[in-house]
Amino acid sequence: MIYIGLTGWGDHYSVYPAGIKPTNKLSEYSSNFLVVEVDAFFYAVQPSRNTAKWVRETPENFRFVVKAYQGMTGHQRKDIPFESKADMFNAFKESLKPFQDANKLALVLFQFPPWFDCKKENVNYLRYCKKMMGDIPVALEFRNQSWFNDSYRKSTLAFMQNEGWIHSIADEPQAGDGSIPVVPEVTTSNVTLVRMHGRNVHGWTKPKDRETNWREVRYLYKYNQEELLEWKNRVKELAKNSRDIIILFNNNSGGDAANNAKEFQKMLGIEYEGLLPRQLGLF
């Protein structure tokens, strides 16, 4: 099955009805999409009551992609509120149980930072992460080009396949070492993840500063028909080797993610069943 959705459900102000309450957004979202990425876990391990609440607000066949906590991926290396790495991983896994019990956990996404380059130390850490996550399906997304340069590309993909990492294929600006090329390869037969970050090269490389909302600049992009058609053809090829494909649009700075996702869904001729009834006219 091909799942198409967005990264988060709280920021799509251009398509939500005016005055919608934050507590109604996930239900309204799930009247249009059957998958969502939850990035709240990246900033803090969520209490199980939050996870259980999100389970209740979504239909039976809804799926969550959970972004791994930033302490687990090395984005945050100081002031981590856990006594050990093992405690950190165990707390994270505990928070996922309501998703698992409801069969709504699609996978956990480990997106590593641009400084996480291809070297033995980091390969060993990936093995550690996979071991700590046990049977929970995990996807791997790099932000350093070295993993897919000519010297390491085949080895990287073979490693992911042998270790059981789901490939998170990224569509993003080609802006040097801090970005990766499109590598449309399946590494596990059960599921493949595609994340559409947009192609705003200037925004991708713009340094963070106090005057600029970095995320708003970085993900300001609207995919055109030709670009979506490229991905239609890629997805058809990926589907030959992957039972499920999850496609998440992250280009929401200008409110384009939802419309691009709907456009892509129509392009693939997909009509989802099991959505929640539309009560507020989201689209």
- In order of their start, the domains of the chain are 2-267 (3.20.20.410)
Please enumerate in sequence order all residues whose Cβ is within 8 A of that of 18, keeping only pairs 6 or more positions apart, or say none. none
- Residues making up the chain, counted from first to last: 283
Contact 249, 261 (CB under 8 A): yes
Q: Which of 243, 105, 213, 219 is nearest to 170 (CA)?
A: 219
pLDDT of residue 16: 75
**Dist CA 252 CA 223 (whole Å):** 11
pLDDT of residue 213: 53
pLDDT of residue 205: 66
pLDDT of residue 210: 47
* Three-state secondary structure string covering the chain: CEEEEEECCCCCCCCCCCCCCHHHHHHHHCCCCCEEEECHHHHCCCCHHHHHHHHHCCCCCCEEEEECCHHHHCCCCCCCCCCCHHHHHHHHHHHCHHHHHCCCEEEEEEECCCCCCCCHHHHHHHHHHHHHHCCCCEEEECCCHHHHCCCCHHHHHHHHHHHCCEEEEEECCCCHHHCCCCCCCCCCCCEEEEEECCCCHHHHHCCCECCECHHHHHCCCCCCHHHHHHHHHHHHHHCCCCCEEEEEECCCCCCCHHHHHHHHHHHCCCCCCCCCCCCCCCC
Tens place of pLDDT for every residue, the chain, 283 residues?
Answer: 999 999 999 876 666 777 888 888 898 898 889 999 999 999 999 999 999 999 999 999 999 999 999 999 988 777 788 889 999 999 999 999 999 999 999 999 999 999 999 999 999 999 999 999 999 999 999 999 999 999 999 999 999 999 999 999 999 988 777 789 999 999 999 999 999 998 887 776 665 554 455 556 777 789 999 999 999 999 999 999 999 999 999 998 778 899 999 999 999 999 998 887 765 444 4
**Dist CA 43 CA 76 (whole Å):** 9
pLDDT of residue 255: 80
pLDDT of residue 211: 47
